[in-house]
Structure 1
Amino acid sequence: MNYSNQINNEGFSIINNVYTENEIEKLILLIENATQNDSDNATFRKSQDLFAIRQFHKEVPETLDFIFNENLNEIIESNFGKGYFITKSIYFDKTEKSNWFVAYHQDLTISVNKKIEAANFENWTVKQNQFAVQPPKEILEDNFTIRIHIDKTTKDNGALKVIHNSHSKGILRIENLDFDNEKETICEVEKGGVMIMKPLLFHASNKTTNNERRRVIHIEFSKHELPSGLEWSEKTLLQNN
């Protein structure tokens, strides 16, 4: 299960058949139980177009045993090595009626415990008592994201679009990307598959047009310690690391 060349060269990789139908059904059941019992939680965001759970691995920790199955643990270790930990997770449920889309962007911020002065940490924001900051480029270049697909995801229900190798250009304003000479891919993923991507890869998603749900668990990973006094606010160690 070595996809590291593709991840390093293209900025992403799609791996299907990571989870069995049974594992996906168990994840769905755990998520549904959590949302029914705690709908007033501040980390739960609900609108007509989207339902999201921020800090997902802390809000629904019983999912972790199913998420980090033998296949995913092998994928992480064989492609990235040991020492990585969870830094952020979000569950997205893009509904059948969704007319919500996301324009091309890079994932430039990390979640931290507080705001302090630190060299090359900039563009601070705070949302729902959660501090976010843009760290040095070297941290973003080394991090990775895994998106677990609970539903079959196609061009018709909001699959991500990506620009190949755009992660290698550093932090870039979108208007400085020459779209006429870039390769774009729509990342269709089977139910039970995953997409691995680098944070600096330009990505976007379209509106849903086929009235089918698109549920995704988005997990970000790092192995970097932050400057003294600053901590990853959602840091969770992996059991196999």
Structure 2
Amino acid sequence: MTNICQAFEDNGFAIIPGIYDNETINRIISTIKAADSTSSAFRRSADLFAIRRFLHEVPEVLPLLLNENMKRLIAEIIHPDYFIVKSIYFDKPAGSNWYVSYHQDLTISVNDKQELPGFGPWTVKPNQFAVQPPIKYLENIVTFRIHLDDTTANNGALRVIPGSHKKEIQRPELIDWASTEETSCEVPAGGVMLMKPLLLHSSGRTTNEQQRRVIHIECASIQLPNSIQWAEKLSLQ
């Protein structure tokens, strides 16, 4: 695990297979399918099905996600003060034409809009607000991407620029792509990809008619200014 921690710090991402077995994956998927999908947090199109505020909308799935393997991984990667601050479920169906160009994850979800030094711009989202915070908050966040299907370059595996998280906030259009290394992050079903939000990453279209389902969970340990709160704060215990 020491090598994984070092790779995560150096590259801004790491891939850990075998966190969930097939039985657990099937139970997770069944729990999601049984959830009440009438909430505005459930969004469906021909190219993507997503559940925002996922762990609040489908709380029954959290005990399945926090199995012994995942608890050990969490304990190795982050210290006990960390808590969940955002969760999203992505289902990219077979034949999806949906893709995302290179970007960094620069916003956090909070419960209210306030004029605060260093916070902005703001975006209104259902049941919450999104805001770009001072960089110390982004550097503190660790993302766990739980893969429920085999993910390859042919069905939307993330492409990343290793080490780009160390350069703070960047504008992708100004990057010299001719001299930039790109890596495709293929993850088997049941595996977890660790990622830092400032890592430049993108996702391509599906070309192999294979579904890709991912649970995206962000964790942090820094408290926000007293006038706002994390919109999705949950304990990891």
- The bucket for the TM-score relative to the shorter chain is over 0.9
Aligned-partner SS, 1:132: strand
CA distance in 2, matches of 1:45, 1:142: 29
Range 126-135 or range 165-174, more displaced: 126-135
Once the two structures are superposed, residues 187-210 of structure 1 have per-residue CA deviations (whole angstroms, 9 ceiling, x without a partner) of: 000000010000000000000001
1:101 corresponds to 2:108: no
| Residue 61 (str. 1) matches residue 45 (str. 2) | no
Residues 4, 80 of structure 1: 8 Å contact kept = no
**Mapped contact 1:146–1:218 kept (Cα < 8 A):** yes
Check the 8 A contact 1:147/1:217 in 2, yes or no: yes
Specify the alignment match of 2:23 in structure 1: 22
Residues 27-49 of structure 1, C-alpha deviations (whole Å, 9 max, x = no match): 01101111xxx232100000011
Equivalent residue of 2:207, what SS?
A: coil
Q: Is the 8 A contact 1:164 1:182 kept in 2?
A: no
Q: Distance in 2 between matches of 1:225 and 1:133?
A: 15
Q: For 1:130-150, what per-residue CA distance to the aligned partner results, in whole angstroms no more than 9, with x for missing partners?
A: 201001111101111010000
- Alpha-carbon distance, 1:220 to partner: 0.5
Task: Tell me what 1:40 maps to.
Answer: 38
Preserved CA contact (<8 Å) 1:48 1:97: no
What stretches of structure 1 of length at least 5 have no aligned partner? Answer: none
CA contact (8 A) 1:124 1:131 kept: yes
**AA in 1 matched with 2:24:** E
Q: SS in structure 1 opposite 2:30? A: helix
Following TM superposition, by how much is the alpha carbon of 1:129 offset from its aligned partner in structure 2, in angstroms? 3.7
> Per-residue CA shift, 1:87-133, capped at 9, x if unaligned?
01000000012101000000000000001111111111102242010
Which whole-Å CA distance do the structure 1 matches of 2:178 and 2:77 have between them?
31
Q: Which residue of structure 1 aligns with residue 88 of structure 2?
A: 90
Aligned residues: 236
CA distance in 2, matches of 1:72, 1:129: 29
User: What is the distance in 2 between the residues matched to 1:190 and 1:70?
Assistant: 19
> Partners in 2 of 1:176 and 1:45 — Cα distance?
33
Distance in 2, matches of 1:74 and 1:140, equals 24
Seq. identity, % = 53
What is the rounded CA distance, in whole Å, between the counterparts of 1:91 and 1:158 in structure 2?
15
Task: Output one character per residue of 1:13-32: Cα deviation in whole Å (capped at 9) or x when no partner.
Answer: 00000111111111011011
Report how far residue 237 of structure 1 moved.
Answer: 1.1
Name the residue aligned to 1:11: 12
Q: Residue in 2 aligned with 1:154?
A: 152
**1:132-177 deviations in whole A, cap 9, x for unaligned?**
1001111101111010000000011110000010000001111232
Match of 1:168, SS state, is: helix
- Partner-residue secondary structure (3-state), 1:227: coil
- Which structure 2 segments of 5+ residues have no match? none
Query: What is the rounded CA distance, in whole Å, between the counterparts of 1:129 and 1:58 in structure 2?
Result: 11
Aligned partner letter, 1:92: F
Alignment partners' CA distance in 2, 1:55 and 1:122: 21
Give the corresponding residue for 2:224: 226
Query: Counterpart in 2 of 1:216?
Result: 214
Number of the residue aligned with 1:202: 200
TM-score with structure 1 setting the length = 0.96
1:190 matched to which residue of 2?
A: 188
Residues 164 and 185, structure 1, Cα contact 8 Å, conserved in 2:
yes
Aligned-residue Cα RMSD (Å) equals 0.9
Provide the TM-score with structure 2 as the length reference: 0.97
Between the aligned partners of 1:230 and 1:39, the Cα distance in structure 2 is 28
Higher mean displacement: 133-142 or 170-179: 170-179
Residue 159 of structure 1 contacts residue 205 of structure 1 at CA under 8 Å; is this kept in 2?
yes
